[in-house]
Amino acid sequence: MIVVKVGGSAGIDYDAVCTDLAERWKGGERLILVHGGSGETNRVAEALGHPPRFVTSPSGYTSRFTDRETLEIFEMVYCGKMNKGIVERLQRLGVNAVGLSGLDGRIFEGRHKDSVRAVENGKVKVLRGDHTGTVERVNTGLIELLLSAGYLPVLTPPAASYEGVAINVDGDRAAAALAVALKAEALLLLSNVPGLLRDYPDEASLIREIPAGEVEAYLGFAQDRMKKKVLGAAEAVQGGVLRVIFGDARAGQPVTAALMGAGTVVS
């Protein structure tokens, strides 16, 4: 089993990802796709007059402050436009894909965090009304049912809280939890960069290999949202996933290239 997470940043070539996935799927590989949608969500939120608000925690992690209205915009884009766009591409390529969010069948479950600590103008503030959380449980029953019936699952945040409330969760860490739960042999985290860069944005500074036991030591190279990918990679290898690869989804055969070792390989 291979879990492929494709991000939502500008420059990602979803046609290239889907074409590559479809070929591998038809060749008999067992695959699951998890996707993001942050770039498009930002655009739609601006257009709807509810611009995104990003907050930085005291420990330096950036996340989207998700009030109810933001959650609804988030769902429109992630579960609607992005998810159906990917499912349509795969269907056109002859793959029977099924798109679901983490709410459906409670695939992704976690605790609802209603408040977030954020640093604003040098001060730590507590913001309430947040619909976020972290995936703590993956309920694999529905996914296994789909796979055994020949469907390719295409999954996206949000997740379900233990009370059944929709929560915005990080897609990279959700994919990592999924890879652990399914005992996947590889987790690919594909984005609009060649991999983890030692000196971002210098693409020539690509880090080629990271020993599984040392992932956290590389957190310092990652800025803002890349930190979540490094954290996800650490969680996946600690949970028994043999390889995590940060790969480039901008062109070519993103899945095949990553599996052949292009990008940053954590193993």
Q: Which of 81, 45, 159 is nearest to 54 (CA)?
A: 45
73 or 146, CB closer to ligand ADP? 73
Options 18, 20, 21, 38; binder of ligand ADP; rule CB under 6 A: 38
Residue 8 touching ligand ADP (CB under 6 A): yes
Q: Is 96 annotated in some ligand binding site?
A: no
Q: Helix H segments across the chain?
A: 14-26, 38-47, 68-75, 83-92, 141-148, 171-181, 226-238, 254-259
Closest distance of CB 193 from ligand ADP, Å: 4
Among the listed ranges 68-76, 77-85, 117-125, 224-232, the one in contact with ligand ADP (CB under 6 A) is 224-232
Nearest-angstrom CA–CA distance, 88 and 94: 10
Binder among 225, 232, 248, 262 for ligand ADP (CB under 6 A) = 225
Considering the complex, what minimum distance in angstroms separates the CB of residue 207 from ligand ADP?
A: 8
Residues 116-136 as b/e (b if ≥16 CB within 10 A, e otherwise) read: bebeeeeeeeeeeebbbbbbe
Site for ligand ADP (CB under 6 A): which residue of 116, 147, 165, 222?
Answer: 222
Return the exposure string of 85-112: e unless at least 16 CB atoms fall within 10 Å of the residue's CB, then b.
bbbebbbebebebbbbbbbebbbbbbbb
* C-alpha span between 22 and 95 (Å, rounded): 6
Residues in 180-219 that interact with ligand ADP by CB under 6 A: 191-193, 196-197, 200
User: Which residues does 262 contact at the CB level (< 8 Å), separation at least 6?
Assistant: 194, 195, 247, 248
Strand partners, 55: 63
- Beta carbons of 188 and 162 less than 8 angstroms apart: no
* Nearest distance, CB of residue 96 and ligand ADP, angstroms: 26
Q: Report, in Å, the least distance between residue 222 CB and ligand ADP.
A: 5
Q: Which residue from 221, 233, 257, 266 is in contact with ligand ADP, where contact means CB under 6 A?
A: 221
Residue span binding ligand ADP (CB under 6 A) among the ranges 18-26, 62-70, 118-126, 220-228: 220-228
Q: Which is nearer to ligand ADP, 149 or 204 (CB)?
A: 204
45 contacts ligand ADP (rule: CB under 6 A): no
Site of interaction with ligand ADP (CB under 6 A): 7-9, 36, 38, 191-193, 196-197, 200, 221-226
